Amino acid sequence: MPVDPQLSRRILLTAGVAGAGLASACGTARPAGPASADDPDGSLVDEVVARITATAALAGRVPGLVAMHTAHLDALDAEPPVPGRAALPRLRRSEQQLQRFLVGAAMTAESGQLARLLASMSAAVSQQLVVL
């Protein structure tokens, strides 16, 4: 399959993570380095990282959520979250907001690979919400 030269290394490596089992554990491979200045999805990835990090800060009571958010941040080459604690209703609302944001981010992404990764993350959050 030919590779589009316009795709950044980060997007290509992140897509590899998605294809390698994101739905089960979000992969363990890390993209190399930050997004380049010419990466059209760079600011979107930064916003996704910020939202996941903020949500993860509430998830300390639920180890499955902490693990999921850690794997998502790892897939985006971001620092692991520092989990805190929040009441379950607040945590549930925060996770629901993150899930909706990830759906929108997937639709906004210019890269198809990033869109699939974000959609997969949204699905993972949805699965965790069922048991929360």
pLDDT in tens, 91-117: 999 999 999 999 999 999 999 999 999
On whether residue 99 sits in a domain, the answer given is yes
**Four-residue CA torsion sign, 127, 98, 56, 77:** positive
On whether residue 33 sits in a domain, the answer given is no
Total structural domains in the chain?
1
Residue 37 is predicted with a pLDDT of: 60
Tell me the residue range of the domain where 55 lies.
9-16+40-131
On whether residue 35 sits in a domain, the answer given is no
Residue 101 is predicted with a pLDDT of: 98
User: Who's near 9: CB < 8 A, 6+ residues apart?
Assistant: 31, 32, 33
On whether residue 24 sits in a domain, the answer given is no
On whether residue 28 sits in a domain, the answer given is no
On whether residue 25 sits in a domain, the answer given is no
Q: Are 15 and 114 in contact (CB under 8 A)?
A: yes
Residue 83 is predicted with a pLDDT of: 79
